[in-house]
Structure 1
Amino acid sequence: MEISPAALEACVARLRPRFPGVAMLPLQADFTRPLRLPPPPRAPARTLVFFPGSTLGNFVEAEAVRLLAAMRETIGRDGRALVGIDLVKDPALVEAAYNDAAGVTAEFTLNLLVRLNRELAADFDLSGFAHDARYVPQRERIETRLVSLRPQRVHVAGLAFDFAEGEAIEVEYSHKYTDRGFSALAARAGLEVVDGWGGEPEGFGLRLLRQAAR
């Protein structure tokens, strides 16, 4: 499943020759919205939802619960969901990852303004904003912002926005989880953790979920 049709087609074109015995049913969709899965060629014995990476951490808590609850409905009573999570670790390590010396993350963040200029007729001056990513221990998350370096006015889609020096645009959250915290989050969505891989040495994990017993 992928929101970009070009990326979806390219992925399936690579995988089909490698796994000719696997039926692949590409679905262009936004996973945050209700899904209508294409009919499989044969009835599945069990459904597995695989949500890799650490995308769940980009959602605030209520949104993450809704997404996990949608997975619960998709997998049914006998299915499973395999979810990737970024784990809580040394804040210095986390901040270093989001403020890399090569400036890759900063370039990625500033590209948001490039897209706004191109697609919404905005006039952001990229030299007037700086990438800023900080770990907030109380919320166990990285908060990424674009900070205005001077007073300035920007136009987006015909509307004017004034920025003071130091004023920020919130770009992204990236939550980090403890196993206890993730289990509690899953429980709110009617799921329970039944297995897991990865932990403190790796700083990242996969957790297997099923519908919680009622």
Structure 2
Amino acid sequence: MDSGEENPFLDDVLEGLAKPQKAIPSRWLYDAKGSSLFDDITNLPEYYPTRTELKILRTQAGAMAKAIGPGAVIVEYGAGSLVKVRILLDALDAPAAFVPVDISASHLQSAASELKEDYSDLVVEPVVSDFMASNLGHALPDLSGRKCGFFPGSTVGNLQDADIQTFLKTARTDLGDRACFIIGLDQPKSPDILVPAYDDAQGVTAAFNLNLLTRINRELDGDFDLDAFEHEARWNSVQSRIEMHLKSLKDQRVIVAGKPFDFTEGETIHTENSRKISLDSFATMAEDAGWSLTRSWTDEQELFAVMMLEAA
């Protein structure tokens, strides 16, 4: 590791471990291994969001495509494995281009190459970037079609209100005055459903969370003992969110990039939030960022919603 170069991962880890409540931003969970493990999570029986959203997309893709219109440029934020966007692309009338944006370069390039093989007439221009940190206007193809953001899953629930506002405002600027935005939104529900979804019986989510420590050890000269930490999922009723933590099983000292950090037994690193936001609450946030909520689709149990925003 060359400490003379800019390293936002290092900066976030050192800053986060120095806080009274240790915390590391959730985006760093998604290296190649983390992204692969998350793909595994989406297929777990306890993890309802993906299969529920897929059902909504498959049922309503025609209505979404009609609302978006022909010749669209689709921009997927936090693109991942590009499974869900295929449903939308298949329903659209002659989409002009697809721009997947993801922080994991190897995972993104692999998924984009596979998609390009299946959609040979589609312009595919992957962008390696943290969608929260970038202005993407310069990276979008110079095409006349309507720009449509696509942000499936429940990732928006990982963000604080201020971050949601920043993201929506930036996307509004990037996508332009004729833009629309399709966003997934996990709905409030019983902790009896939520907690198992983030702490599965097979331990895949635990492996996903603990992989962050493996990444720190590999990339930042860390010496975390993975056997001395465990995954913990908590329901925070005040904030209406599931929290993921890595809990220290003993008093210990950890070194990262030559800097020591002390843990007491039971102390945690807060690694992710997954808030459950009502449609009404999100509509207000969207309006403040220059969008209008014009349509929404949900499942029969109202576990999950897919909404369409249009530039106000």
- Tell me the alpha carbon deviations over residues 79-126 of structure 1, each in whole angstroms, 9 at most, x when there is no partner: 101111111111111011111111111111111111111111111111
Task: Decide which of 181, 186, 196 is 1:96's aligned counterpart.
Answer: 196
Task: Decide which of 189, 201, 217 is 1:117's aligned counterpart.
Answer: 217
**1:84 is paired with a residue of what secondary structure?**
strand
Paired residue for 1:43? 144
1:1-214 aligned within 5 A: 1-32=101-132, 33-35=134-136, 36-40=138-142, 42-44=143-145, 46-199=146-299, 201=301, 203-212=303-312
Structure 1 residue 163, shift from structure 2 partner: 0.8
Structure 1 residue 9, shift from structure 2 partner: 2.7
- Aligned AA for 2:272? E
Structure 1 residue 211, shift from structure 2 partner: 2.3
- Aligned AA for 1:172? E
CA contact (8 A) 2:135 2:174 kept: no
Q: How many residues align?
A: 210
Structure 1 residue 189, shift from structure 2 partner: 1.5
CA contact (8 A) 2:224 2:254 kept: yes
CA contact (8 A) 1:87 1:203 kept: yes
- Aligned AA for 1:37? A
Runs of 5+ consecutive residues of structure 1 not aligned to the other structure: none
TM-score, structure 1 as length reference: 0.91
| TM superposition outliers: structure 1 runs of 4+ over 6 Å | none
**Structure 2 Cα separation of the partners of residues 112 and 10 of structure 1:** 22
Distance 1:168 1:4, change over 3 A: closer
- Aligned AA for 1:150? K
Distance 1:107 1:12, change over 3 A: closer
TM-score, structure 2 as length reference: 0.64
- Aligned AA for 1:54? S
**1:139 is paired with a residue of what secondary structure?**
coil
Structure 1 residue 202, shift from structure 2 partner: 5.3
Distance 1:5 1:96, change over 3 A: closer
Runs of 5+ consecutive residues of structure 2 not aligned to the other structure: 1-100
**Structure 2 Cα separation of the partners of residues 110 and 186 of structure 1:** 34
- Aligned AA for 1:10? S
